[in-house]
Amino acid sequence: QQQVKQSPQSLIVQKGGISIINCAYENTAFDYFPWYQQFPGKGPALLIAIRPDVSEKKEGRFTISFNKSAKQFSLHIMDSQPGDSATYFCVAGTGRRALTFGSGTRLQVQP
């Protein structure tokens, strides 16, 4: 049962462009929505997170947009850089318990 659906599976963006990754969830009990970034051979690292009472959160070049009624959220990476090339996971959680990961988006930023 895939509770968090993520798209696209892969994404190629030119340096300086905007990368957009979309996610949808099913379980309305989720109350925590982080995005994790993973480089090859490394564990996932928290990038940015949002709670459902906020519609948007921005940290530097990274912005989460959250639509509670549609049960959708997205990550925007502005001014994408080659160093941003990694796999990104949208994630949903309930309380201080297990996280449910999406299937991941492999982002490649071309110089």
Partner 1 sequence: GAGVSQSPRYKVAKRGQDVALRCDPISGHVSLFWYQQALGQGPEFLTYFQNEAQLDKSGLPSDRFFAERPEGSVSTLKIQRTQQEDSAVYLCASSSPGQGYEQYFGPGTRLTVT
Q: Which of 22, 65, 74, 103 binds partner 1 (CB under 8 A)?
A: 103
DSSP-assigned beta bridge partners for residue 105: 88
Place of tokens 């490649």: 108
Contact flag: residue 43 with partner 1 (CB under 8 A): yes
Minimum Å distance from CB 45 to partner 1? 7
CA angle 99, 105, 108 (to 5 degrees): 140
Q: Which of 19, 30, 44, 77 binds partner 1 (CB under 8 A)?
A: 44
Which residues fall within 8 angstroms of residue 76, CB to CB, at 6 or more apart?
18, 19, 20, 62, 63, 64, 65
CA–CA distance, 106 with 58 (Å, rounded to integer):
21
* Distance linking the first and last C-alpha atoms of the chain: 38
Q: Which of 17, 22, 26, 32 binds partner 1 (CB under 8 A)?
A: 32
Minimum Å distance from CB 76 to partner 1? 20
Minimum Å distance from CB 79 to partner 1? 25
Q: Which two tokens stand for residue 57?
A: 């959160």
Minimum Å distance from CB 57 to partner 1? 14
Using the contact rule CB under 8 A, the part of the chain among 11-19, 62-70, 72-80, 99-107 near partner 1 is 99-107
